[in-house]
């Protein structure tokens, strides 16, 4: 609205100067001290600003959705590659499964050790399934 004041002032000065010439009056300067617009115009400007803000908000939501989509695709591709690599490792090296079981057992043991809770395990669970791995290895060697 501030940018309109100089343009409106020039237009009013031009119109008044032309009309004053008809009455043999010379105007040196025209100064607008107060300028207000009608309610309809003010509401239209406000509605335009609100619409622009809503458009920006909608644009942001669309851009965020596109980024989320790209992120999900990249994550899915990474998980697929991981599954493929694990599948290849299992197929090419049966000991990989045993290795993963040992890693899982270590993680569980660390979690249990770090916990303030008391955990009671029976004698079969004390080694967290590692004993069965030893038996499998002995059977494979025979």
- Per the listing, tokens 């309809």 go with 40
- The encoded tokens of residue 29 equal 């300067």
What is the reported pLDDT for 2?
A: 63
**Nearest-CA neighbor of 27 among 19, 38, 37?**
19
As a whole number of angstroms, the distance between CA 107 and CA 129 comes to 13
| Alpha-carbon span 109 to 115, nearest angstrom | 10
Residues of the chain with pLDDT below 50 are none
Give the span between the Cα atoms of 96 and 119, in whole angstroms: 29
Predicted TM-score (pTM) of this structure: 0.43
pLDDT tens string 10-41: 888 899 999 998 899 888 888 877 777 789 98
């Amino acid at each position: 609205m501030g940018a309109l004041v100089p343009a409106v002032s020039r237009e009013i000065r031009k119109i008044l100067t032309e009309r004053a010439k008809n009455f043999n009056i010379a105007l040196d300067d025209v100064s607008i001290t107060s300028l207000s617009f009608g309610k309809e115009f003010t509401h239209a400007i406000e509605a335009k600003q609100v619409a622009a803000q809503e458009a920006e908000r909608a644009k942001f939501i669309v851009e965020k959705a596109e980024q989320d989509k790209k992120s999900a695709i990249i994550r899915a591709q990474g998980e697929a590659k991981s599954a493929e690599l694990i599948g290849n490792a299992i197929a090419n090296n049966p000991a990989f499964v045993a290795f993963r079981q040992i890693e899982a057992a270590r993680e569980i043991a660390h979690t249990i050790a770090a916990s303030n809770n008391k955990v009671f395990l029976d004698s079969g669970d004390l080694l967290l399934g590692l004993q069965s791995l030893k038996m499998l290895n002995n059977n494979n060697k025979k």
